[in-house]
Amino acid sequence: MTTIMREDELVRRALAFAEERLQELKSEGRTSERELSALLDEAGARFNLSPARSARLTALLERVVKGKTPE
């Protein structure tokens, strides 16, 4: 049976995934813009995010990278 999730829940899960992967990338010294772009693409595909939700994820992850707490 398929579970229907709210779009916001998908973004939260994608952000948690992206934050975890970001920590791994930082520990490996791989935080280039290209790496972050690939990470966002992977999270968007994995969680089947719409373009609007992918943009929201990008904004949230940019805040995380800059050291601010996501809203």
Instruction: Kindly state the greatest CA–CA separation across the chain.
Output: 41
* Nearest alpha-carbon partner for 40 in 54, 27, 29, 51: 54
Q: Quick check: 68 pLDDT over 80?
A: no
- Whether residue 48 contacts residue 10, with contact meaning beta carbons closer than 8 Å, is answered with yes
pTM of the predicted model as reported, rounded to 2 decimal places: 0.81
The two three-digit tokens of residue 21, written as one number? 């992967």
Q: Please, which pLDDT band fits residue 57 given cuts at 50, 70 and 90?
A: very high
Distance of CA 56 to the CA centre of its chain: 9
Query: How many Cα atoms occupy the beta-carbon half-sphere of 27 within 13 Å?
Result: 6
Most confident of 26-30, 39-43, 62-66: 39-43
Average pLDDT for 46-62:
94
